[in-house]
Amino acid sequence: MLAAKDEIWLLERNPPRRIPGLIMLKQADCVQMVAHTVTTAPIRFDIVELGADDAAEMLALATLTQPGPFRAHTHALGHFIGIRDQGRLVAMAGERMQPEAYVEVSGVCTHPDHRGRGYAGLLMREVAARILGRGGIPFLHCYATNTGAIALYGSLGFTPFQTVTAAAFSAA
């Protein structure tokens, strides 16, 4: 049972159908991409491991930048890493869903004041490389309208796999 302010997100190959007792809040086409290798680049910034002690700061960054569904305990679904500037978390990326051998790269975001420095690409490469190193296959979802991100992900080694529909629902 969903609480009044809770949301549930579904990813489906076909547009979502009406679900009794739920109200659709939003829906969007997404590109699902996978990587079997990732490009390499020198690490130019200090990467920090993120965890429970960073949860509030991670949620604040995700709330500001809206990378997709991210809640107070999303950090517990997989490993997250980030970049700090003068002690403040300014970029992060990590893991979320893990269906079988696939591991989703998720929560990729950079504070608006720190964009254009290569943080997202660096963090995504590192997360994807770690997944590959464990024998997994990194995948991700990107809003189909976000052509800049799709181009970035392609430059890192991700290729489109399929189009899916993301839909958010709440209790009626």
Q: Which residue has the tokens 């998720």?
A: 106
109 vs 93: CA distance, rounded Å: 7
What is the pLDDT at residue 1? 61
**Domain boundaries, given as residue ranges, for the chain:** 8-171
Q: What is the pLDDT along the chain (172 residues), one digit of tens a residue?
A: 666 678 888 888 888 888 888 899 999 999 999 999 999 988 889 999 999 999 999 999 999 998 878 888 888 889 999 999 999 999 999 999 999 999 999 999 999 999 999 999 999 999 999 999 999 999 999 999 999 889 999 999 999 999 999 998 998 7
149 vs 35: CA distance, rounded Å: 15
Residue 83 corresponds to which tokens in the numbers above? 């970049």
Report the top-level CATH class of 8-171: alpha beta
What is the pLDDT at residue 69? 83
What is the pLDDT at residue 79? 95
What is the pLDDT at residue 171? 85
In the Cβ-directed half-sphere of 30, how many Cα atoms lie within 13 Å?
22
Residue 105 corresponds to which tokens in the numbers above? 């790269």
168 vs 151: CA distance, rounded Å: 25
Q: Let me know: does 85 contact 75? Beta carbons within 8 Å.
A: no
Q: What is the residue-wise DSSP string for 2-46?
A: --TT--EEEEESSPPPP-TTEEEEEEEEEEEEE-SS-------S-
What is the pLDDT at residue 11? 85
What is the pLDDT at residue 18? 83
Q: Is 125 helix (H, G, I), strand (E, B) or coil?
A: helix
Per DSSP, 172 falls in state -
Per DSSP, 61 falls in state H
